[in-house]
Structure 1
Amino acid sequence: MAVANSYFVPGYGISRAVIQNEIRYHCGPDAIVRPYTFQGRDGFLITTVGPPLTKAQIDDLKMSSREYEEKQSRIANESSVFVNAPISINQRIRRGQ
């Protein structure tokens, strides 16, 4: 049985939804990706027994991420929903004891 390897991929320009959907295509059916911070940089920790992502595959993920984000933006603009609208949460305010 092959040993799984883990490695960090910086997340700049890569959408979480895209990498989670496409990682198995690039690295094999057992590949797992999760958000991760390494040396203060946000990105993804990929664990796979398959080959690591190549630069071309990372560039492909970035291109797919850009298309995904643009599509999501168009969908949000077509609806009349204000995404960052405040939502009230009924919380009790704690007072000093």
Structure 2
Amino acid sequence: MAGANSYFLPGFGISRAVIQNEIRYHCGPDAIVRPYTHQGRDGFLLTTSGPALTKAQIDDLKKSSRDYEEKQSRRANEEDVFVNQPVAVAQRIRRSG
């Protein structure tokens, strides 16, 4: 990636699944995004040789994220999924000895 720029994007209101799916559409085919924490704030580190995201593009990502989260919520309610379902783990028996 010749001439690539990296910058931090605060993650409030932006779904990880959405930004990873749409970043190449907004910033070009070589754009990379990954979760990142900057000065205690969670967000994303964007690396691209293309232009930085505009305010309108960020707003579009937030709208797409809201739609995605609502769709996921409806799907979970329809399927009656219990996210924090207990998982059986092999237990070791203690022997005094």
TM over 0.5: yes
Partner amino acid, structure 2, of 1:28: G
Matches within 5 A, 1:1-97: 2-90=2-90
Q: Give the 3 Å change call, closer, same or farther, for CA 47–84 of structure 1 in structure 2.
A: same
User: How far did residue 87 of structure 1 move?
Assistant: 1.7
User: How far did residue 2 of structure 1 move?
Assistant: 4.2
Partner amino acid, structure 2, of 1:22: E
CA-atom RMSD, angstroms? 1.8
Q: Give the 3 Å change call, closer, same or farther, for CA 92–65 of structure 1 in structure 2.
A: farther
User: How far did residue 86 of structure 1 move?
Assistant: 2.0
Partner amino acid, structure 1, of 2:81: V
User: How far did residue 89 of structure 1 move?
Assistant: 2.7
SS in 1 for 2:56: helix
Q: Give the 3 Å change call, closer, same or farther, for CA 7–92 of structure 1 in structure 2.
A: farther
Question: Which one has the largest radius of gyration?
Answer: 2
Moved over 4 A (4+): none
Partner amino acid, structure 1, of 2:79: S
Partner amino acid, structure 2, of 1:9: L
Moved more, 20-29 or 84-93: 84-93
For structure 2, the 5+ residue unaligned runs are none
For structure 1, the 5+ residue unaligned runs are none
Q: Give the 3 Å change call, closer, same or farther, for CA 86–6 of structure 1 in structure 2.
A: same
User: How far did residue 41 of structure 1 move?
Assistant: 0.3
